[in-house]
Structure 1
Amino acid sequence: MVDLPSGPLAAVDAEFEKMALETGGFTFGLPGTSVREKLLQVTAHDICRASFGLPFKMHVLAMSRHGVPYADMLALIRFVASRTRRAWSEERLSPRERAFVALTAHVTQRALGESFRRHVELALKVASADDIRDAVRFTAEMGVIETCAALEELEKILATS
Structure 2
Amino acid sequence: MTQLAGADALVPLDPVFAQLAVGAGHNLWGLAHLTTREKAFVCLTADLCHPHLDLPLAMHVQMSLANGVEPESIRELYRHLAPYVGYPILVTAFQRLAELGLPEALDADPVEPVPLHGALAHAVRDLERVDPGLAAFTEDQLAQRWARPGLTVRERAIACLAVDVLYQTLGESLRLHAELARSAGATDETLRDLLRGMAEFGLPRVWAAAHALGLYPVIGRRA
TM-score by length of 1: 0.91
In the other structure, the counterpart of 2:79 is 78
| 2:9 corresponds to | 8
Find the aligned partners of 1:47 and 1:92 in 2 and give their Cα distance. Answer: 19
What is the correspondence of 1:28-107 to structure 2 with a 5 Å cutoff?
28-83=29-84, 84-85=141-142, 86-107=144-165
1:156, distance to aligned residue in structure 2 (A): 6.5
Partner of 2:33, secondary structure, is: coil
Q: CA deviation at 1:95?
A: 1.1
Letter of the aligned partner of 1:2 in structure 2? T
Q: Normalising by structure 2, what TM-score?
A: 0.67
Match of 2:170 in 1: 112
1:82-138 CA deviation, whole Å, 9 max, x = no partner? 342112123111111111101000001111011111111111112112112211221
Q: Following superposition of structure 1 onto structure 2, how do residues 20-35 of structure 1 map, counting pairs within 5 Å?
A: 20-35=21-36
Aligned mates of 2:194, 2:79 — CA distance in 1? 21
Q: Decide which structure has the larger Cα Rg and report it.
A: 2
The percentage of aligned residue pairs carrying the same residue is: 32
The reply to whether residue 138 of structure 1 matches residue 197 of structure 2 is: yes
- In structure 2, stretches of 5+ residues that fail to align are 85-140, 217-223
Q: Bigger shift: 57-66 or 83-92?
A: 83-92
Q: Distance in 2 between matches of 1:11 and 1:94?
A: 38
Q: Which amino acid aligns with 2:181?
A: A
Contact 1:137–1:151 (8 Å) recurs in 2: no
Q: Secondary structure of 1:31's partner?
A: coil
Contact kept? 1:79, 1:90, Cα under 8 Å: no
Number of positions where the alignment pairs a residue of Structure 1 with one of Structure 2: 158
- Which letter does structure 1 place at the counterpart of 2:163? A
RMSD across aligned C-alpha pairs, in angstroms?
A: 1.8
Structure 1 unaligned blocks of 5 or more: none
Worse-matched range after superposition: 74-83 or 141-150: 74-83
Which structure carries more helix by proportion?
Answer: 1
Q: Describe the SS at the equivalent of 2:175.
A: helix
Q: Is the 8 A contact 2:188 2:215 kept in 1?
A: no
